[in-house]
Amino acid sequence: MQQELKSELTKQLILDNAFNLFYKSGFKSTSIDKIMKATTLSKGAFYHHYKNKKQLGLEVITLKVEKRVVNGMILPLKQTGNAFNILENVFLNRLKSFPFFEKQHGCPMNNLINEIGDHEVAYQLALKNIVENWKLSLMTLIERGQAEKTIKNTLSSKAIAVYLISAFEGIRGIRKLYNDDLILDDYLLGLSIYLQQVKY
C-alpha cells in the first residue's frame, strides 16, 4: 500500500512538472530530461510510469488540461438559475480571474492545439474531445435558456457555442502579445455587446 502511494505521488509529480514546463516553454522544446530535472527524480522513474513523451503528453492533456477546462468553463455552465446570466458570468468573469502569468502565457489547451494539434492524431483527438465537451455543455445551457425565454430561440445553439469558444480562445492567444489588459477590456466590451444580441 505504501509503495502504491509512493508510485502514485511520483507519477503526479511528473505530470505536474510536465504540465508546467509544457505551458511555460512549449511541448516540443520540453524534453524528458528537462522534466525529470525539474522533478529531481531519476530518468528510470519516468520510464517506470511512461513509455515515452507521447504517452505523457496524452496524460497531461486528459488529466491536467481537461480538468482545468472542466472546472473553469464547463462545470459553471451546469449551475441552476437564469441561463443567460450564467452564460454572461462565466465568459466575462473567467477572463478577469486569470493571474498575470496565465494572461502572459495564454490558454494551455489552445497552446497545445496550435503547437501539436495537427501533428499527431492521438493529440488531436484528445484536445478535440475537450472542445466538444465544452461545446455540448454550452449548447445545453443555451437551449435551456431558449426554453426559459432568456436567450433568443431563433438562434443556433451550436453556432453561438462555437463562436463563444473560438472568441474566448482567440483573445487568450492575442493577450500574449500585450503587456497589459487593455486588449482584454476591449474584448470584454465587444463580448458584452454580442451577448446582448442573443438575450431574449
Q: Which domain CATH number covers 4?
A: 1.10.10.60
98/122 same-domain check: yes
101/45 same-domain check: no
pLDDT at 22 over 90: yes
36/92 same-domain check: no
Give the number of domains in the chain. Answer: 2
CATH of the domain at 90: 1.10.357.10
Query: From the CA atom positions of the chain, what is the Rg in Å?
Result: 19
46/75 same-domain check: no
Cα gap 8→171, rounded to integer Å? 36
Measured in whole angstroms, how far is the alpha carbon of residue 15 from the centre of its chain? 16
Q: Tell me, what's the pLDDT at 1?
A: 57
pLDDT at 48 over 80: yes
The whole-model pTM stands at 0.94
Q: Which amino acid is at 196?
A: Q
pLDDT tens-digit readout, 171-197: 999 999 999 999 999 999 999 999 999
78/160 same-domain check: yes
pLDDT tens-digit readout, 5-14: 788 899 999 9
146/70 same-domain check: yes
44/67 same-domain check: no
12/81 same-domain check: no
112/14 same-domain check: no
65/46 same-domain check: no
Q: Tell me, what's the pLDDT at 119?
A: 82
Task: List, in sequence order, every residue forming a beta bridge with 151; answer none if it has no partner.
Answer: 199
Range of the domain at 156: 53-198
14/62 same-domain check: no
For residue 9, the number of C-alpha atoms closer than 13 Å in the C-beta half-sphere is 7
Q: Which residue has the cell 470584454?
A: 188
pLDDT at 155 over 90: yes
Backbone φ/ψ region at 149: left (φ over 0), alpha (ψ -120 to 50), beta: left
| Mean pLDDT within 149-162 | 98
| Band of residue 52 on the pLDDT scale cut at 50, 70, 90 | very high
* Average pLDDT of every residue of the chain: 96
70/150 same-domain check: yes
Q: Which amino acid is at 150?
A: T
